[in-house]
Structure 1
Amino acid sequence: MQPDRSALGDAIAVLTRPREFYRTMPRGTGVLEPLLFLVVVGMITGAVHLGVARLFPGQVIDPGLEILLLAPVVLMVLSLVIGSLLHLVWKLLGSGEPFETAFRCVAYAMAIAPVAVVVGMLPYMGTLIVVLWWALLQALASIEVHGIAEPVAVAVFGIIAVLLILLGVTLELAVHEMQRGGELHVAAGSRAALEARSSLSELVT
């Protein structure tokens, strides 16, 4: 049976049968297919983000309906940048594939983006899960598409995953520290206002 090559079919294949997907991934047919894939996945990601923001106000910033148009653009830019970087990595590892193939490998891995929005709500653990999942997909792409030996692919993307996890956790800690500092500043301001009001009341009376 021929695999479903619609955008949704490809997304489901990446999520459920990633090794098989990359083994049979079309190549050499241009970038239109992966771009359309990113548009579909981006809109789904935006809708999920919007839904999560409405269900959990305060925990996730509500981006508004604009996210439905913005998310596909963000995924395209990320795929282009990451694809360019990984194209160099794969070349260094001995791949003979062109940039288009690298772009496809990265673009189709964006299938995890809608799930990442939900999983990303978990402090620290969300970063760990998403990064490891992404690294696994790129390792499989290295093996099945670029013909790189499995131990080499696992080692390289394992190192990349560790670096990304450290960066992600550091950023999360910094954000939480800023939020905590802001809360303390607001609390101090409120306390000062109450003290000033109390002093004024005493003077009046």
Structure 2
Amino acid sequence: MDYIETWKEVIQRPSDFFRRMPTTGGYADPLTFAAISYIIYGLLSGLFSRGMMRGMYGYSGITEFGFSTAIMTAIMAPIVGIVSIFIGAAILYVIYKVLGGSGTYEGTVRFISYATAVMTVSWIPLIGWIFGIYEIYLYIVGGMVVHDVSMVKSAIAILLPTVLIILLVIIMVVLAGSIAYTMIFPS
């Protein structure tokens, strides 16, 4: 696997890449790609987003970030990232099946793994969130191709877990607020 060429294809021509991407063949190549993306993200995030802030902005908090933090982030990022790929793929696979998708769990793991290409640039302070939006687009396109569903169904599958989490948080906040209110103002 040529990481740089694969990265360019995923970023520049995602529809073509996901159409040509085999949906079977094992997990080794896509997970290796994802691990490299996460290592790059961990190193650069640890060095620049956190480690360099101290020097650039005179930050002198209790926690100091530096090269060792960057190394630890680079080690932990691929481990946590790969685990999250498998969990996320399981959730998305079920949602795609409910929506009539015909893809496989392996295909889902594969498109999510390649969508991590965005991680190599998402660490950039202030504009990293823009690349996060592009990653959502990569997920939608990858899911659409792998599961043979419309773009609308793929967008629903990708965005549904986030919407459900937001609703759950709102419900928890409302419940906590009502419990606190009844404790402060018993009737």
Q: TM-score, normalised by structure 1?
A: 0.66
Residues in 1 aligned to 2:4 and 2:165: alpha-carbon distance in whole angstroms: 29
- Per the alignment, residue 80 of structure 1 pairs with 86
Deviation of the 1:103 alpha carbon = 0.6
1:41 aligns with 2:37: yes
Q: Is the 8 A contact 1:131 1:164 kept in 2?
A: no
User: Do residues 144 (structure 1) and 140 (structure 2) align?
Assistant: no
TM-aligned CA distance change 1:39 to 1:56, over 3 Å: same
Instruction: Report Cα offsets for 1:108-164 as digits up to 9, x if no partner.
Output: 11111121111xx33xx754x344322211111122222102233345545556x38
2:39 pairs with 1:32 = no
Deviations 1:5-35 (A, max 9, x none): 4223222222111111111112210111112
1:22 alignment partner in structure 2 = 18
Specify the code of the residue in structure 1 equivalent to 2:32.
L
Counterpart position of 1:184: none
The alpha carbon displacement at 1:98 in A equals 1.7
Q: What is the aligned counterpart of 1:56 among 37, 53, 64?
A: 53
Residue 113 of structure 1 aligns with an amino acid whose one-letter code is M
Q: Which has the larger radius of gyration?
A: 1
- Which one-letter code corresponds to 2:74 in the other structure? L
Task: Letter of the 1:23 partner, please give it.
Answer: R
Aligned partner of 1:116: which letter?
A: S
Q: 2:104·2:147 contact (CA, 8 Å) conserved in 1?
A: no
- For residue 12 of structure 1, what is the amino acid of its counterpart? K
Counterpart Cα distance in 2 of 1:80 and 1:135? 17
1:148–1:65 CA distance, 2 compared to 1 (3 A): same
Q: Distance in 1 between matches of 2:144 and 2:85?
A: 19
- Quickly say closer, same or farther: Cα 1:78–1:130, change in 2 above 3 A: farther
Distance (Å, rounded) in 1 between the aligned partners of 2:132 and 2:161: 9
Contact 1:75 1:110 in 2 (8 A): no
Identity %: 23
Structure 1 portions without partners, runs of 5+:
171-205
Distance (Å, rounded) in 2 between the aligned partners of 1:68 and 1:46: 4
Unaligned runs of 5+ in 2: 171-187
CA RMSD in angstroms, aligned pairs only: 2.9
Contact 2:38 2:78 in 1 (8 A): yes
Could you say which structure has the greater relative contact order, defined with CA pairs below 8 angstroms and 6 or more residues apart? Answer: 2
- Summarize the Cα distance change of 1:156–1:100 in structure 2 as closer, same or farther, 3 Å threshold: closer
One-letter amino acid of the counterpart of residue 22, structure 1: F
